[in-house]
Structure 1
Amino acid sequence: MKEYTVVDLFCGAGGFSLGFHLTRRFRTILAVDNYNPAGLTYKLNFPTVKVLLEDIKEVSDPLLRKTLKDVKIDVLIGSPPCEPFTGANPRRERNPLDRLYKDPAGQLTLHYIRILGVLQPRVFVMENVPAITEDGLKDTLLGEFERAGYEKVYFNILEAEEYGTPSHRRRVFVSNIRIQPPPSPRVVTVEEALSNLPPPGGFPPNHEPPKEPSRRKVKRMSMLDWGEAMIHYQGAEKELPNLIRLHPRRIAPTVLGSSRFIHPYENRFLTVREQARLMGFPDSFVFTGGRDDQYNMIGEAVPPPLAKAIGLYVANKLDEEGG
């Protein structure tokens, strides 16, 4: 079967790339990110991929052409920062268009579109929070994509738990094709996701004991029922929970870079490996950097099971077009 080429922008640790790789239909040529722990983690897990540890604003058209040489790119994927758009950010710009054009992090979405215009892949898939389509932003983005050469653009809303991810995650995948992968026949619960793990220790990787909570926190943890949160914080629109004791027979809440979960049965926080399992990362995927870096990379990733479902769907569409 034909193998298709991929470039991954804002690659992070590599969850999006991993899903595409797991289909055995794609070969990533280039990955770009400016976050050092993410770049090192990506390179560790994808040693044959060229990784540019660079601010996307500095990735010029000539640099892209020089790096890629004459390789034709079939698919461009990527996840520009969602912080400017998400309702969980209490400091997001009040004017929706300012989130895209004024916020420096929001402007990075425009750089994804700029590079899209340079590479002209057959398919692109850009992941973000659904709020990137609100209050006129959808029409604005359609205009930007049209200037890049893509007149037909679709905003595909997918939920990760429908594709074998043991946690909730609702995201929009903006693409020049409709993306409608068949859902997984069953739901993976927290208990199933965390099963077969030994007590925190040296194996598997990233399963070191988490920071031990204070006696006061342990006491508060012990009083929490499944699904209850120890604290709440103010988002842009409403209060949001954190330090939730996971319900073993349900999926986990959305895993965020800032989120920490309490074990369903033990009065402790999850290890990095346990958190990674909630996003569908295999134990063979190793995270580098400090402990907070590792949690952040997991929370900011595209869950690999969802990315794999998207990858299989994209490969089939490319096959239908004649490879």
Structure 2
Amino acid sequence: MSPVKVIDLFSGAGGFSLGFNREPFEIKLSVDINHAAARTYSINFPNTVVIEDDIRNITGRDIRYLIGGEPDIIIGSPPCEPFTGANPSRRSDPLERLFVDERGQLTLEFIRIVGELKPKIFIMENVPAIANIDVIRSSIEGEFLRIGYPKVYFNILRAEDLGNPSRRTRVFVSNVKLKQQKSARLNTVWNAIGDLADRPNLLPNHEIAEVSEEKIRKFARLDFGDYLSMFKGSSGRNIPLYIRLNPYRLAPTVMGNSRFIHPFENRFLTVREQARLMSYPDDHVFVGNRDEQYNQVGESVPVVFSTTIAREIMGILYG
């Protein structure tokens, strides 16, 4: 069986790639502009060509040269900030989010690369708003039609249904239809991190950050589900920050700015504990300063998503 060549655009720390990091898939190349994320990816995928650059500077010809041919599959996660309601500065005009916002235009760059390389399968991850807002959805469909993909599916999947211990609903825009799978049981925070409580510094990224005595006193007053502060998203919804996690329930959606408080201790979760909430294996190492590490985790595709999708793609290709 010849390898199935995969490239990952906007690869971040590699959560989307991890599901494809097995035979018959071969991850040939990744692209990310963030220095810490590119370093993280390079450490964890030593056999992959890692490009640390703005995707606008990269062409399909460059990629063909670097991987020695055409990719079979393109995956990627363009920035979601232009589209998510959690962004208080999101543009009010939906079309401007895609065509005017510089980060929104990166979705079009993903489509450009797909058009230049014509893979058998592409899968682009983002927030459900790009599927739920008609003018954005129809514009994306039109862009893919223009490059030769007349049928596009907006597959909305929930990570918690796959056993992820935190909530995350995402759309995977693809030229193949993906099914929402179901795990046998619902996971919880304590199932995910309970065994780590007595193992500080024994795993990578599991260093406990010191906090001030004032913060410790504030943490001590919080019950499960309570929070220290909140911010207002663009939709007017108040979004809590610094939540004390309920150990017996799912964690809320992990975001780049998420800093959760341990269920039983008066401290923030370590990066490793937060990575467990996104189903990362313990041998996946994050580099950069602590904030950069947290951001890499929060901006990831949960590994349960990528693992399930890769398995389904294998069935499509070889079933």
Tell me the TM-score range normalised by the shorter chain: over 0.9
Counterpart in the other structure of 1:93? 91
- Contact 2:157/2:180 (8 A) holds in 1: no
- Per the TM alignment, residue 234 of structure 1 is displaced from its structure 2 partner at its CA by 1.0
Aligned equivalents of 2:306, 2:162: Cα separation in 1: 9
Alpha-carbon distance in structure 2 between the residues aligned to 1:225 and 1:209: 21
Pick aligned residue for 2:102 from 104, 107, 111 = 104
What CA distance in whole angstroms lies between the structure 2 residues aligned with 1:296 and 1:199? 25
Residues 233-262 of structure 1: per-residue CA shift (max 9 Å, x gap) = 111011101101111111100000101000
Letter in 2 for 1:86: T
Amino acid in structure 1 at the alignment position of 2:225: G
Q: CA offset at residue 215 of structure 1?
A: 2.3
* Contact map agreement 2:152 2:175 (CA 8 A) in 1: yes
Match of 2:57 in 1: 58
Equivalent residue in structure 1 for 2:221, among 220, 223, 233: 223
Distance 1:125 1:164 in 2: 21
Identity %: 50
TM-score with structure 1 setting the length = 0.95
Structure 1 residues 179-194: aligned runs within 5 Å:
179-194=178-193
Counterpart in the other structure of 2:15: 15
* Counterpart position of 1:114: 112
Using the alignment, how far apart are the partners of 2:167 and 2:270 within structure 1? Answer: 19
Q: Which runs of 5+ in 1 are unaligned?
A: none
Contact 1:11 1:33 in 2 (8 A): yes
In 1: Cα distance, 2:279 partner to 2:78 partner: 21
Greater mean alpha carbon deviation, residues 40-49 or residues 178-187: 178-187
The answer to whether 1:174 aligns with 2:138 is: no
In 1, Cα distance between equivalents of 2:24 and 2:259: 34
Give the 4+ runs in structure 1 shifted more than 4 A: none
In structure 1, the partner of 2:77 is: 79
Between stretches 228-237 and 278-287, larger displacement belongs to: 228-237
Paired with 1:6 and 1:202, the residues of 2 have a C-alpha distance of 34
Where do 5+ consecutive residues of structure 2 fail to align?
Answer: none
Deviation at 1:198, TM superposition (A): 4.7
Aligned residue for 1:234? 232
What RMSD in Å do the two structures reach over aligned CA positions?
A: 1.3
1:307 and 2:293 equivalent?
Answer: no
Deviation at 1:181?
Answer: 4.7
SS at match of 2:190: helix
Distance in structure 2 (CA, Å) of the matches to 1:196 and 1:306? 23
Aligned residues of 2:60 and 2:117 also touching (Cα < 8 A) = no
Pairwise mapping of residues 254-293 of structure 1 onto structure 2 (< 5 A)?
Answer: 254-293=253-292
CA offset at residue 200 of structure 1? 5.8
Report what 1:145 is aligned to.
Answer: 144
Give me the whole-angstrom Cα distance separating, in 2, the residues matched to 1:229 and 1:198: 21
- Which whole-Å CA distance do the structure 1 matches of 2:292 and 2:198 have between them? 22
Structure 2 residue aligned with 1:195: 194
2:124 & 2:225 partners in 1: Cα distance? 32
For residue 2 of structure 1, report the CA deviation from its aligned partner. Answer: 5.6
Q: Which amino acid aligns with 2:145?
A: E
Partner Cα separation in structure 1 for residue 286 and residue 177 of structure 2: 32
